[in-house]
Structure 1
Amino acid sequence: MIKVLIVDDEKIIRIGLKMMIPWEQHGFELIGAAEDGEAAMALVEQYKPDIVITDLKMPRINGLELIQKLKDMPMFNGKIIAISNYGEYDLVREAMKLGALDYLLKVTLKPENLLDILNNASSQLSNEKQKKEIERKKEVAQIENLMLARKNFFKDLVYFGNMSESEIELQAQKLNVQIDTKRNFLFFVTIDDYMKTMRSGKWAQKHLLAFSISNIISEMVDDSFFIEFSEISERDYIFVLPDRNKYERESVKLQLAKRIAELLKLYLSLDVSVVISPSFVSLQQVKEAYWTCKEAAELRFYKNHAIVTHARDAVFDGKKSLIHELNDILSHIRTGNEEELLCSFDALYEKAKQWLVHPSHFKKVIITVIDNWEALSAQHEYHVLSEKVRKQLNRSDTISEFKEAFVQAVNYFSQNVIPVSPKYRREIRAVIAFMVKHIEQRITLHMIACEVNMNESYLTRLFKKETGKTIVNFLNELRLEKACELLKNPDLSIKEVAELVGIPDPFYFNRIFNRTYGLNPTEFKKNHLKSTDRP
């Protein structure tokens, strides 16, 4: 509905205009009638009309003064229609100069004349609204494009860094990226337990997360400083600030970093680690500052919680290796001593923490043990650790999360594999390990024979004698067991699972799966999803 206000000092005119047409039937809402410009201004502020029909001669605030006031009001974007008597042409001309859309003569006014002018005003309002919306969308798109370009600029700096200093300066000027010409530093902010945060559903629109983080931190920085913010990845952000005045003091930087972590927790329920970079001069040095901070943020693995620190206080020893410390763990795997196995894990962790071994190395060593363990399970029946546990092992931010996944792996293999006995001779174990390692590939008898340096016919007979199964049947069983685990992943399609286990033909995959388990892969996947959905 288009809202209309009538302004006239003659009551009979006000009543006449009200009664002249069925306003609502034509899409107009008559919000009121005022006896002069002063009363009209109060109604305009209260109801914000789209069209004002005003007399020109009125006491206190006359029509011309009212038109001028309406045009000066930022909140009024409507249309004005003047009504006058014969002989008031000078007033009408002045009203049109001030911005009135059209005018009506009281003595000759007819319903169709009123409707024509009202419809014209309504049409113009609609067109203007559409134009404003188009302009608004253009402005939003320009801002979004600029923000995306700025984000990509910082990503290029961080991940590639292949632009020359002059190229960086030119691009920075185009995107209005500003940093101090003498000295800068950055805050590296990373969201801890990112996957859990996303699963909460609070941040379904990820761009709002970056927007909220940027707003909160920008509000904390002194207005006299310019600050550059960029989202580097879904969980990682940087804020570049001038390293001068009060921010030259490390204690002030640390205090601000702690406050950032506190407020993001308070307002956004985010656990974040914040790392302060060393000082740098140019945008070309942002890459080094970023990776120094990202590396330092890994310290939270040993601290077992989010951290706030300076990058120089979290330096890992890249020369220390844990490979030679695995004997205890491997021996406990072979003997099946689960309790001692976990104790050895704790001892290895304490040594890694003491030596400040990079967490990625510690995790890689343990995951390698699990990979070998999985391959060794082929000496009995091949068992695959679930994708969920593997993801947790790879993505764990803290030792608590990592150990939780490791315990799940221990429990799984304890039930299915430990203790390990040399069931098959060495050559057959090597064949099975080769199958496990290359399970997603097309494996031929020739490839396997070359791997163990044996004659194909002899290998075929020996494998059958040792395992009681043909190489093809054994390999298919390995593929199908792996497929069962992958089918439990709701994000993987049947076709993708088939390809991941080395059976690119979906029809053949469906046929052998059905023959082995008595149901097709789709039914298996649906049954698993139903069981996991139950309370």
Structure 2
Amino acid sequence: MYRVLIVDDEKEIREGLRLKFPWADFGVDHVDTAEDGDIALRKVMEQRPDLILSDIKMNRMSGLAFIGQVNEKYGNSCKTVVVSGYDDFDLVRQAVQLGAMDYILKPIHIEELNKVVIKALNQVQNERNDEHNRQLLENQLQLAIPKLQEEIMREVTGKPYNPNWQTQMGHRLKSVELDWILQEPLALMVIEVDDLKSIELGRAYRNEKELILFSIGNVVDQTCEEEYQYPYTLFMDEKCRWVIVYNCANRDLESVKETAKTCIERINRYVKVNVSIGLHSNIGTVESLFHMLQKTGDILEQKAVYGGNRILIDEEIGVDAEFSEMPLSDTDLIFDVIQYASESEISLALNGFNEMVRSWPAAHIKDIQQCLFEWLLELFKKAAHIGLKDLEWERNPIAIWERLEKYDTLESLRNQVEVFLLELSRSLKQLSKPQNQIITEAMKYMNRHYADNLTLQGVASEVHVTPVWLSKLFKKEIHQTFLEFLTSLRIEKAKEMLGDVRYKIYQVSQEVGYRDPVHFSKLFRKSVGHTPKEYRKIRGIQDE
């Protein structure tokens, strides 16, 4: 529907136009009048009419002054038609220059007014349609921008930087408001759901995994918007991890760390899942984003050693967890300690006893004793599963309970638990493989599968120990970390292959387990002191 304003200082003319012309036939539902330009300006401001019919010659403010002010304030949104006598053509010309779209001569004929109104209202409708379509496109673009940002960021971080695509990528990044990626220092963070596979397998309802990931993305986006002062972008990678790239203009990672802490707290509270966050310790640029993401993925693997639901930063973590930091609630890990560790190491592992007890929803000593009883029974069952024949605990479990209920302080209960664990350890030592046999089996497996995507968790599963324990055995038995041994193994295999001119360097890289030749070359140089190309040249082999 449309609104019309008639401006004329002669009441008979303006009222005649208002009452006698069939406005409703043209879709006009509101017609108002004004006797001069001052009153008309106020009504234009209040009503924003679509069409204005204005006389040129009026008392007080002239029609020309009125049209000029309307055009200055409202542009072409109000269509103005001037009404003029035969001798006013110079004034009509001025009115058109000031913004009037057409004119009509006095005396006004209905047929002529019909044509002018149709022309004006057609323009109004066309502009409305154009604005509606523009708004639709803008809304669709706003809805599409996050998806477009995700796609572009997956491209930027999914392969090593190539200077040849910077111009094209720059245009694409600018089109989705991410051109700061090319200009500013960057920080990178990766959020991974702990035990996502178990959540997926044990899902209570359909699409639970997708809903959890979606909820985490919302929480992270909201948290970053509230807590981080610079631009950022987030996207999900092919491993169902949320990757956040921050504009680190202040070159200070502390604000990113604080945001990460808040993300974990809110995800725990609102989504009810645990997550681990890997944070690259260095600030980089677009050229280093690919390697930053690869490195941060490696950092996240350390949650198998250090535990999840925390922030992992490469410069702040070592290779092995200390015995005193072991989570006692992880019975698989503690059972490995009981099987393979020395008695002093078992005692050291119990430094986390008080923390474990305090984590239980147990308010009274009887509740704590009950939780300890169940925890010990689980360890005894694991011992029976691997073949321990002394099943006194199974024949008379009440005896365990009776020993526990004698003590009513944490310190005395800890001492009694230590007695149980040491007794169990001595029995298990007769069944367990020697530690060096476990390492030998792990090394044999790695020698056969060094070209695969080997992880600490995967190798530990093959030799039937926990990742934490295997990591400790590598350090203890061969004085290398798991990753150091794997890297040295791959580099030695690469040196053998580089002696064969049939293999190109990128093929050698892939054959020994590195998808990225640039990353392989850096590792090779760090280990050998020369790049693969230099190594071939030293050996007198003509490079490709």
| TM-score normalised by structure 2 residue count | 0.48
